Amino acid sequence: MSMEIAQMEAEQALAAACYRLGETLNDAQATKTDVLSARDTHFDRLDALTDQTKWQLLQESFALSNHAVSLLAIVYLFQLEPDLLAVYSKLSWYEQGGGISAKRALYLSVDEYSDETPSDFPMLVMPSSELVKAQLLICANPVTPMVQSLMVSEPLFEYITTQRNVDHFARENVIDGYLNRVIDAASPATAAMYEGEFVVPSALLNIVEIDQQEETLAFVHNLTLNLKQQGLQLGDLWLVRTPITNPDAAAQLQKAILKAQLENMPAIQAVFWPSLISDCVTSSSLRSLAEYLIKTLHIIVFCNPLEESESSEQTLWVKEWESKHAYYYRPLPNQERKMAAWRELCVAEGCPNALTESEISQLVERYPLVSYQMLSAFEKVQKESTDGISYKSLQQTCLYSVDSKTKGLARFSLPRITMKDMVLKKEVTEQLDEIMARMRFRKEMTKESVTFLSGTQALFWGPPGTGKTMAAEAIAGELGLPLYKVNLSNVASKWIGETEKHLSKLFDQAERQQAVLLFDEADAIFAKRSEVESSQDKNANMGVSYLLQRMESYHGILLLSTNFKANIDDAFLRRFTTVTEFSLPDKATRKTLWNNVWQGSLKLTNAIDLNSLSADFELSPSQIRNVAERACLLALMDQKTEIDQVILAKALRREFDKQSAGFLTSKRISDWLK
């Protein structure tokens, strides 16, 4: 006989016995023996129902007493068969609402119910009872609890009445908008990266200290799967959708968790509630719910740590509670574990030899991605690349996966150019190659020289528009690294302590991402230190001193650019590994620039002599690009397919007008046109 049929027959038998008991109680001719016999039959049928699988699972999972389960069964039966109320309507009990009264339910659920019943037995129907707290029993009137109408909760009623197999009850992936079933957050990369970290928690509140939210979810999902493999009877992992702003959120969230818990019985429930601690700080009802879930229902809860910004007065109880009830996961994967993550992804996707050990090592060193970012990069390459998985395709995708979290301190930039796009003097190119070589061969150099520093600090100086900023972008592009262009107006604060705080945030973020740092127009903050005439001057100089310290300890490439080398503090200059001058290009370099600047379909007409153009106009690389861009625009406006001398001359005039060029410049352009 199936479980559903057995339960249905037990319900029908109890309903019949309960009805006969009601009739006997209404029969004035019935003897005491008749009533006791009817009661005995009723309680035999009640025991038969509560012995059914679903009721036994419910009792085990919620640690309910026999009295509590019997009470729920009676309330459920009257909810299932409301006609039963009719047979008791002639009795002297008071009724309120459409359900069975609390007094009647207690009488029908406990055989020994009498004046000698223990005084705490009626507490089962009070608002403070465990049945009510668990939202299994709904009490409508706490003022007059014994005459109130009782109902079992909607999730419990659905659980008992469903005709599906108990293991597949209510297989919803989203419950009431508050819970999401976690299905695919785990990955081979996460399992490999955190190998050895998936230990059985020693507490029910588990705080996971990982920066990225997606990575925390991946870690927790892998952890719960691993715990199942270790033999722990654990249900599915559920994610609480945050932030929780609804004032009725506590009750709604508990209802959703109850549905999930009923589905997973008898397994232990696992919930990832990211904002649990901050939610408990701001809401007393959510705090009570959290404590109830953990302390009473023994649900395994995962959450993020307490934010440092939270008010200390509000969080004292949290810290005390954490110290008594919490277990901390602080996974810190090293380089070997990150390399293992890349290997596992290759194996899992059927391309174990796609990357060499050297390439995997470079991916780990240059791109500090966590496992979910690795998986996303891998999947994107598989989807978009026609050549399959390769170091080159992954390198570009990884670069775009790097997060920017500087919040206005610097402008995050993904390089658009590489060294082949630059036109530089041979000496400058060699110096830039040396900067990149220090990054590429820093492991080898560390072995060759005990004094070698893995970081590189370089100063680029020269007139505006000579390619200093482009050179920084080309270096980042050549190495496949992100570039941060520092916003000095946000960093160079003269308020006490602000400069150091801003720089610390900036360097910490750049360090994690192996980014190229560019302080453009650096003399605004790195100029010669001023004489101390005020507290502001003192703190400004302190900011420079702090920057010198962070520069020396920075493990990536740090570049500073300035138009005037003489303005830079001498103490600063001594710390640079390279000082490179970007001078205005000579005639030959200008000709190369003019040749290379036309990248689309629009080109110069053959009538334009590049030798005379390069000789007559001493322009910087930036100015040449500006002229070319404007000339292309003018040609498109005139619907021309080529750029003739007239269009180019007009673009030249526009560029020189920026500098308020006078008669001589205008004459020079006119002469060139002739």
State residue 138's pLDDT score: 87
Residue 589 pLDDT level (bands cut at 50, 70, 90)? very high
Q: Is the pLDDT of residue 122 over 80?
A: no
- Helix/strand/coil for 578: strand
Strands 205-208 and 300-303: parallel
Exposure of 484 by Cβ count < 10 A (0-12 exposed, 13-18 middle, 19+ buried)? buried
Neighbours of 9 (CB within 10 A): 14
Distance CA 208, CA 229 (A): 21
Summarised one tens digit per residue, pLDDT across range 147-156 is 778 889 999 9
Lowest mean pLDDT across 95-104, 468-477, 636-645: 95-104
Q: Is the pLDDT of residue 531 over 60?
A: no
- Compute the mean pLDDT over every residue in the chain, rounded to the nearest whole number: 83
Please identify which residue in the block is written with the tokens 């194996």: 347
Q: Is the pLDDT of residue 396 over 90?
A: no
CA dihedral 135, 136, 139, 140 (to 10 degrees): 70
DSSP label at 135? T
State residue 570's pLDDT score: 78
State residue 336's pLDDT score: 93
State residue 342's pLDDT score: 94
The pLDDT > 70 percentage for the chain reads 85
State residue 168's pLDDT score: 43
State residue 535's pLDDT score: 45
Summarised one tens digit per residue, pLDDT across range 225-251 is 998 988 888 888 999 987 676 767 888
Residue 164 pLDDT level (bands cut at 50, 70, 90)? very low
Q: Is the pLDDT of residue 312 over 60?
A: no
Burial readout 271-302 (b: 16 or more C-beta within 10 A, e: otherwise): bbbbbbbbbbbebebbbebbebbbeebebbbb
Contact yes or no for 470/422 (Cβ under 8 A): yes
Residue 10 pLDDT level (bands cut at 50, 70, 90)? very high
Q: Torsions phi, psi of 161, nearest 5?
A: -85, -15
Residue 115 pLDDT level (bands cut at 50, 70, 90)? very low
Q: Is the pLDDT of residue 643 over 50?
A: yes
Higher-confidence residue of 140 and 97: namely: 140
Q: Among 249, 252, 307, which Cα is nearest to 274's?
A: 307
Phi-psi sector, 165: left (phi>0), alpha (psi -120 to 50), beta: beta
Burial readout 413-423 (b: 16 or more C-beta within 10 A, e: otherwise): bebeeebeebb
Q: What is the mean pLDDT of residues 392-406?
A: 77
Summarised one tens digit per residue, pLDDT across range 407-419 is 566 787 878 889 9
DSSP label at 368? -
Q: Is the pLDDT of residue 654 over 50?
A: yes
Distance CA 595, CA 644 (A): 15
Residue 40 pLDDT level (bands cut at 50, 70, 90)? very high
Q: Which stretches within 183-231 are classed as H helix? A: 188-193, 213-229
- Helix/strand/coil for 520: coil
